[in-house]
Amino acid sequence: MKKFSKLHHQIFSITTALAFIIIVIISVSIASLLYTQGIDNAESVLRNKNRSVTALIEGYVAPLRKAVKYSGSPESGVDHTHYREQGTKEEILSLFEILQKTIPNIHYIFSGYEDGSLLINHYTPPADYNAVIRPWYQAAIESSPRISDGVPYQDINSKEWLVSFGKTLLDTNMNVIGVISIDAGMDAIVEALAVKDEKYPTIYNFVMDTEGKILIHPDEALPDTVNKKIISHIPKAINTSGSLSYDDEDQQKLAHFNRIDELGWIVVTEVNFADIRHPIIDTIIATVLMIVIGTLLTTWLMSYILSSHLILPLRKLQQRVQEITEGKDELGKYVFPNNEIGKISEAIEKLTEKALVQMNIELKDKNAQLSTISHTDQLTSIANRRKMMEVLQTEVSRYQSTHQPFSVLMFDIDHFKRVNDSHGHEMGDQVLIHLAQIVEATIRNTDTLGRWGGEEFVIVCPNTDKHMALNMAEKVFSAIHTHDFPLQINVTVSLGLSEFTNEHSLESVLVEIDRKMYRAKQLGRNQIQA
Ligand SMILES: Nc1nc2c(ncn2[C@@H]2O[C@H](COP(=O)(O)OP(=O)(O)OP(=O)(O)O)[C@@H](O)[C@H]2O)c(=O)[nH]1
């Protein structure tokens, strides 16, 4: 039972070890897959957000820039070279009015001229106002002949953030005569940049210029500061976009950027790396946990099924073999399973039965040998005293039930000591053997000769009365007298005999015969006392 439990334990251990190997392999593969996928997902979220914000900015800015371009070009029907003339001034202001109505995002549209004058609707500049020294004017001069980059600034009165686009006005000789500029509110852009993401709460967007100076940022403290770390990772090639990661104050960041070079802006969408790592790790833990539980349950179930298919038949087989070897008369019902175990069971059973039969035969032989040994005198090979007692008891019992006569003879070699002393003990043995053979050959088949001890012999003669016993004794005497013993040793015996009667018991008849034999000795030996 213990061995089978061990087998069960081994199957369990092996399958569990296999399960762990499978778990480790699958878990590592799935974890790396999930990690890569998670990062890819986060990158794609960043990319899409960045693209949509960029598209929104471009969509917002495009009409403004077109308006700047248009209002400074001859297609507008206004000739700025005559900006000092009242008619032209009115035409310009009327154009500004129309554009402002057509494009609601325009906050201010105005033009400044080399003489420092300013043309703008609904605003009268102070007397000392000089357009030429204003930042928007300077920016347009710097960018000339193209439209200046979007320059964000905060309105002094309303504190509102605005972005300004300006373009130089040129005469036919390509000399600068002034600058036309449009200011637009940035609320829509700021709002678009500030939109949060549910999955990654730390995602935010911001805009910087090509030197890394932050132009628009949801954190109001950051505009005008320079982010050197990210700008060093962004390629210089114009209108490029891509993903990057960098370390910002112990925070690893993942970012996507989009250069809008006609504005001189770079739109960046970034997220704290920890923010994307956490959900990925959560997913990995949940998945690995499911794999562990699933694999362990499956393998344990398999181990249980395997064990019950393997161990149960083996247990039954063990029980069966035990019943056979213990020699149970009635064996329990046993159905041989229709598989290799069933075949082994049958073979073992046959083998066990065969071995048992063989064992029984050998046992019988051994018992017979043992019985012979225990009833035979080793030297003479005739019955020993134990056997003779049994024969006597049988005869006494028979006598008691049938009253058929039986007689007992007992004889002892005369002066046997002298034989030993003069010829040696081995010669004495030879004499004993010869004597036994002679007497055995003389008596009837139904009589039993036995060695009573030493040089004493007993003959039990069934169906023999005293008269017949005397005849038997004389025959024995004559045989001994006529036999040629080795070394011409003269062998005689003294014999006592009795017929068993009603007055006798086994003990008393033996005592009586022994006395008769003693008397024969005393009367000179070599004689019969009946
Ligand atoms: N060689 C041999 N001698 C035996 C055996 N058993 C008994 N003896 C000897 O038989 C002798 C018996 O001697 P005693 O009892 O003195 O009798 P005895 O010499 O035969 O003289 P009586 O019986 O008086 O005629 C002893 O010397 C025993 O050692 C045996 O198996 N082999």
Residue to mutate, 455, 489, 495, ligand 1, most ligand atoms under 8 Å from C-beta = 455
Residue-level pLDDT at 299? 86
CA of 392 to the centre of ligand 1 (A): 24
Ramachandran angles phi, psi of 255, nearest 5°: -140, 155
C-alpha span between 197 and 101 (Å, rounded): 35
- Residue 429 alpha carbon, nearest atom of ligand 1: 1
Per-residue pLDDT tens for 427-437?
999 999 999 99
DSSP string, 217-233: -SSTT-TT-B-HHHHTT
Amino acid at site 296:
L
453 lines ligand 1 (CB under 6 A): no
The tens-digit pLDDT sequence of the chain (530 residues) is 455 567 778 888 888 898 899 999 999 999 999 999 999 999 999 999 999 999 999 999 999 999 999 998 989 999 999 999 999 999 999 999 999 999 988 999 999 999 999 999 998 889 899 999 998 999 999 998 889 888 788 777 787 888 899 999 999 899 999 999 999 988 888 888 888 888 888 899 999 999 999 988 888 888 889 988 899 999 988 889 999 999 887 889 999 999 998 888 999 999 998 888 888 999 999 999 999 999 889 988 988 888 777 777 777 777 777 777 776 666 666 677 777 777 877 787 777 777 777 888 899 999 988 988 899 999 999 999 999 999 999 999 999 999 999 999 999 999 999 999 999 999 999 999 999 999 999 999 999 999 999 999 999 999 999 999 999 999 999 999 999 999 999 999 999 999 999 999 999 999 999 999 999 999 999 999 99
CB-based burial label for 66 (10 Å; 0-12, 13-18, 19+): middle
Of all protein residues, the one whose alpha carbon is nearest to atom 4 of ligand 1 is 454
Write b or e for each residue in 430-469: b if 16 or more Cβ atoms lie within 10 A of its Cβ, otherwise e. Answer: bbbebbbbbbeebbeeebbbbbbeebbbbbbbbebeeeeb
Ramachandran angles phi, psi of 235, nearest 5°: -65, 150
Q: Which of 269, 356, 334, 273 is nearest to 35 (CA)?
A: 273
Please report where in the chains the tokens 């562990």 appear, as a residue: 292
Ramachandran angles phi, psi of 173, nearest 5°: -90, 10
CA of 419 to the centre of ligand 1 (A): 8
395 contacts 406 by C-beta, under 8 angstroms? yes
C-alpha span between 248 and 492 (Å, rounded): 133
Q: Which token pair is 458?
A: 């007993």
Per-residue pLDDT tens for 484-506?
999 999 999 999 999 999 999 99
DSSP 8-class letter at 443: S
Which strands form 214-216's sheet, in the order they lie side by side?
214-216, 204-209, 265-272, 251-260, 241-248
Of all protein residues, the one whose alpha carbon is nearest to atom 27 of ligand 1 is 417
Q: Which token pair is 508?
A: 């008393």
Which strands form 528-529's sheet, in the order they lie side by side?
448-453, 456-462, 406-413, 493-499, 528-529
180 contacts 167 by C-beta, under 8 angstroms? yes
Per-residue pLDDT tens for 162-192?
889 999 999 989 999 999 999 998 888 888 8
C-alpha span between 56 and 193 (Å, rounded): 10
Q: Which of 308, 307, 338, 334 is nearest to 321 (CA)?
A: 334
Contacts by 322-325 with C-beta closer than 8 Å and gap 24+?
A: 324/349, 324/352, 324/353, 324/356, 325/352, 325/356
Of all protein residues, the one whose alpha carbon is nearest to atom 7 of ligand 1 is 454
Q: At what angle do helices 385-402 and 506-522 cross, to 10 degrees?
A: 120
CB atoms within 10 A of CB 4: 16
DSSP string, 369-435: HHHHHHHB-TTT-SB-HHHHHHHHHHHHHHHHHH---EEEEEEEETTHHHHHHHH-HHHHHHHHHHH
Peptide bond into 218 cis (omega under 30): no
C-alpha span between 307 and 299 (Å, rounded): 12
420 lines ligand 1 (CB under 6 A): yes
CB-based burial label for 180 (10 Å; 0-12, 13-18, 19+): buried
Query: First and final CA of the chain: distance in angstroms?
Result: 72
Of all protein residues, the one whose alpha carbon is nearest to atom 11 of ligand 1 is 417
Structure-derived torsion over alpha carbons of residues 98, 101, 104, 105, reported in degrees to the nearest 10: 30
CA of 390 to the centre of ligand 1 (A): 25
Residue-level pLDDT at 355? 75
Q: Give the global pTM.
A: 0.55
- H or E stretch covering 184: strand 176-185
Of all protein residues, the one whose alpha carbon is nearest to atom 29 of ligand 1 is 417
Of all protein residues, the one whose alpha carbon is nearest to atom 3 of ligand 1 is 428
Which phi-psi region, left, alpha or beta, contains residue 231 (left: φ > 0; alpha: ψ -120 to 50)? Answer: alpha
Residue-level pLDDT at 331? 63
**213 forms bridges with which residues in the sheet?**
226
377 lines ligand 1 (CB under 6 A): no
Write b or e for each residue in 360-380: b if 16 or more Cβ atoms lie within 10 A of its Cβ, otherwise e. Answer: eeeeeeeeeeeeeeebbbeeb
Ramachandran angles phi, psi of 298, nearest 5°: -60, -45
C-alpha span between 19 and 17 (Å, rounded): 5
Which strands form 161-170's sheet, in the order they lie side by side?
118-120, 106-113, 176-185, 161-170, 151-154
